Every structure is written in structure tokens, then in C-alpha cells.
Amino acid sequence: MLSSVPVRNAGVSLTLCCSLLVGATACGNDNAKEAEASAPSASSSAEKQKFAKTRFVANAGLAAGATYQWIVKPWRAGKFKKGADGRKFALVKAGLAGAFTYNRLKAATKNAKGDPTLSKAVAPLSESIEKLKDLPSKLRKGDSTDSIVKDFDGVINSVKGAGKEAGAEVKDKVPSAGELGNG
């Protein structure tokens, strides 16, 4: 009858030999594979431009969706007025949406730099987007919500217009509440 110790030792030895064999073959000196791996990717500038527009549309669409869903829509419904039911919760969500919108618009302007036409169309909006930076905290506090909402809506409409002029039409895409929190 076989003892379990020699069988275990044989199993360990076999496993060790196999891993050494696999490791030795994987570490072979194949210059063709090495040169292939270090070569830059074969993306043409047209592909990079296409992806720049796609990323711009995705980021700007998320910003537009968040602005409409959690800032403009509740404001039109009167949720930001003093004494309104659910005002604090609506203002907190609007503040998160504002921060999310700012983050996505900054990403969208960075994406736009990859496409010359889009870059020219979006460049004049950088200053307007930068002005949105401090508005989410004001929105959470409930300070001058009318002007803040109009600022967000105006910048979003400008970004949509610039995208459309450059052939990158932006459509609203409402992010989930989880995406708002993650930025």
C-alpha cells in the first residue's frame, strides 16, 4: 500500500517540474516577438480623431444628461424654492450633478483637443466651463439657484452647439445616481 507522503512528494515534484518547463519556454529569446511588442500601436490620426469625437460625445452627453435630470428639471418643478418638499435632497443631488457635470465637461474639452475641428469649436467655451467649478457648492447651499441653473444650462447648450457644428452631435445621456457619486 502506498503512503500518502511519497505520493504528495511526487505531486509536488511533478508540479514544480512542469512550472519550470513552462517558465523556461516562455523566457525564450525570440527577437521578432520582442520587436513586435515594443512597436507603437498602428492607430492612424483619423482613428484617433474618430475616437476623440466619440469620447467627446460620450462625456458631453453625460454632462448634459446630469444637468437636465438633476439640475434643470427639479428647478423647473420648483424643488429649489424655500419651503418646497424635498428641497434639501434636491439641492444635494443638484450639487453632486453639478460637480459631475463640471468633471465630464473638463474631460470633454480634453477629448476635443484630439480633433482639430472640434478643438476649434470648443476652445471658446473653456472659460465658461471653468466658471462652473464653484457653482456646485453654491447649489448645495441653495444660494441664487436661478442664476446657477441658467449658467449650467447655458454652458451645456453651448457645448452641444459646438459639437454639432464640428459634426459631433451631443445627445443627453442621464447617468445613474451611482455614476454621479463616482464622478
Cα 89 to Cα 94: distance, rounded to the nearest angstrom: 8
Task: Give the pLDDT of residue 140.
Answer: 80
What is the structure's pLDDT at 176?
A: 85
- Chain centroid to Cα 172, Å, comes to 14
Task: Extract the C-alpha cell encoding 57.
Answer: 460625445
Spell out the domains of the chain, with CATH numbers in brackets.
48-182 (1.20.120)
The answer to whether the CB of 153 falls within 8 A of the CB of 97 is: no
Q: Give pLDDT, residue 138.
A: 83
Q: Could you report the average pLDDT of every consecutive run of 10 residues in the chain (183 residues)?
A: 58 54 50 45 56 93 95 93 91 92 94 92 92 86 86 94 92 87 71
Amino acid at 76: R
